[in-house]
Amino acid sequence: RREFLEQNSGSYETAKYQARVGEREKALRSLQKSFESRDFEFVFFRTEPVFRELRDEPVFRELEKLMEQGISR
């Protein structure tokens, strides 16, 4: 399932799966990729319950700041 998801889903969906199974670093990388590729679903990342455990991570906070500023990497 993991390989299929990573190959056939957007980065945001992949990040959700990775966060759900405890792969924090991979989830954060996938969130960054989702932001960079402007995935539509990314706008929901702050309120997505599955990312609750990632909210204190520096990468997550950086993505929040970038969203607030409307700046892409």
- Please tell me the distance from the alpha carbon of residue 40 to that of residue 23, in angstroms, as a whole number: 22
Predicted pLDDT at 68: 86
- Tens place of pLDDT per residue across the chain (73 aa): 566 555 546 899 999 999 999 999 999 999 999 999 988 899 999 999 999 999 999 999 999 999 888 765 4
Predicted pLDDT at 8: 47
Which DSSP symbol is given to 52?
Answer: G
Predicted pLDDT at 3: 66
Burial of 59 (0-12, 13-18, 19+ CB in 10 A): middle
Record the pTM: 0.82
- Please tell me the distance from the alpha carbon of residue 1 to that of residue 56, in angstroms, as a whole number: 28
3-39 in b/e form (b: 16+ CB < 10 A) is eeeeeeebbbbbbbbbbeeebeebbbbbbbbbbeeeb
